[in-house]
Structure 1
């Protein structure tokens, strides 16, 4: 037992600690850089061009929303497939259930989290409160639909919602 060789113990030096700390923080910086890069390229983060200008017309927007609520229009939007094409179909009714005709309806259809696939559209009136337009081909999934309905060049209805395309 006396001849048994002892293994030399490895000593923890300042260089070893420094290397471990630099390695740890290096991995953290690389991971954070990866997340920041992909966050910046995936969504622009802009909801409004100028928050200041939006704040200046805030009271006006509240009044418009109250008028829209009192008007109680019901405008339903659906995405439907038809012969390899996707149609945006809008059904517009007043608070009594009567068809709303003679409107100019503008729509923006896109994915909820990106603006890369946005389509800006003007809908064509088909009669009986039905408005329609073609979007070409779209992938299945959830889509955001922004609508604006004008009557005699005056904005009467505005909404943002989501629908699913099968």
Structure 2
């Protein structure tokens, strides 16, 4: 007699190992393919069109933003029931002078719902317009100009209920 127990089955074979490996790698590949599809279909990946040009313009833009901050002009954005309101104020609280305000509404991810809208001037420092803004998160870039010169340029993150900075 043998010291080894007698079994009726073959036990763990090469076919079993092949099946386990195919299932394991099949799951990994399908998850990676799904994640790659979601990544490529939801975000363009572009922050700037040309990174070289953007890097060359960085210092000039930084100086303009510093000058804008020193001017003391500030903006106040509100979104209520389809009414987009933007108020410009000087450091002392008086209305700031501007003749054009443009708001660029951008989704944080994807660009298929982005839009640009010009706000109408009601009085000095007060601009508004009616436009339907879909629910969800938005990044609103607001550019205020007076005779072609940028008075205020800011970007805020909002949602339909209000804004978050």
| TM class by smaller structure | 0.7 to 0.9
Tell me the SS of whatever aligns to 2:137. Answer: strand
In the alignment, what sits opposite 1:36? 36
Moved more, 18-27 or 138-147: 138-147
Please give the TM-score of this superposition, normalised by the length of structure 2: 0.86
CA distance in 1, matches of 2:136, 2:57: 35
Contact 1:77 1:89 survives alignment (8 Å):
yes
Contact 2:103 2:118 survives alignment (8 Å):
yes
Gaps of 5+ in 2: 1-5
Q: How does 1:3-42 map to 2 (within 5 A)?
A: 7-42=7-42
In the alignment, what sits opposite 1:140? 135
Please give the TM-score of this superposition, normalised by the length of structure 1: 0.85
* Match for residue 157 of structure 2 among 155, 159, 162: 162
1:107 is aligned to 2:111: no
Aligned residue pairs total: 156
Cα shift at 1:26: 1.1
CA distance in 1, matches of 2:104, 2:126: 17
Aligned residues: CA RMSD:
1.7
